[in-house]
Amino acid sequence: MPMRSIFLVGILLSGCGGAPKPMEALGDTVRAYNEGVRWERFALAANALPPRQRATFIDEWDERSHDLKISDYEVVKVEPTGKTSMEAKVQIKRSWYLTSEGTLRETQSIQTWERHGKDWYLVDDTRLRGPEMPGVTEPAVKASPVTADRTVPAADPPVDR
C-alpha cells in the first residue's frame, strides 16, 4: 500500500474516533443507569447521579432490592429540551414486581437528565403512568383552581322553626 493511501486511511480513521456527541453520551448513560438498577449494580448506576447523591442512592436501592425486582425496562423516547441540549426528558417503561406479592406490574416514568460538562446526570425520575413504584417519585399534585385560593365556609346549622 503506498504511503499516501496509508496517510489517507489514517486521517479517515482518526475522524471516526472522536468524542461522542452529547445525545450519544446521554443514550449510553441512560442505558448504564437503567441496566445497573435492573441488575442491582447500584454502585455502577450511581455514577449517573450527581456525586453528593450517590451514597444515599446506593443505600436506598440496596434496601429496596430485598423486595423490589425489575424484570425489564425499555427506553420509550428521548426528547432534548431547550436549545442548548443541556437537559433531556427520557421516558422509561419498567416491568417490576415485589417478591412479597409476586404480581408483575408495568410503570412508565419520565427521567430528567442534565448535562454538566461532558457528563449527564439523572436529576429526577417521576411516574407518568401505571402503578406507584418504589424508588420512583410521584408526580406533584396540582391544586384545583376552584379550591386553591378559596376557603369554603362551613354551612350554618339548620334552624328549627
Give the pLDDT confidence score for residue 19 in this predicted structure.
52
The count of other CB atoms within 10 Å of the CB of residue 97 is 15
Which of 21-25, 51-55, 110-114 bottoms out in mean pLDDT, i.e. has the lowest?
21-25
DSSP letter string over 80-143? EESSSS-EEEEEEEEEEEETTT---EEEEEEEEEEEETTEEEEEEEEEEESS--TTSBPPPPPP
Q: For residues 93 and 20, which has the higher predicted lDDT (pLDDT)?
A: 93
Q: 93: which 3 cell numbers?
A: 417503561
- By the 8 A CB rule, do 93 and 73 touch? yes
- By the 8 A CB rule, do 27 and 78 touch? yes
What is the residue extent of each domain of the chain?
A: 19-129
Give the pLDDT confidence score for residue 150 in this predicted structure.
44
Give the pLDDT confidence score for residue 7 in this predicted structure.
37
Cα–Cα distance measured from residue 53 to residue 58, given in angstroms and rounded to the nearest whole number = 9
Give the pLDDT confidence score for residue 142 in this predicted structure.
64
| Amino acid letter for position 78 | V
- Predicted confidence (pLDDT) per residue in 60-100, tens digit: 999 999 999 999 999 999 998 877 779 999 999 999 999 99
CATH classification code of 19-129: 3.10.450.50
Q: For residues 92 and 142, which has the higher predicted lDDT (pLDDT)?
A: 92
- Predicted confidence (pLDDT) per residue in 123-133, tens digit: 999 999 999 99
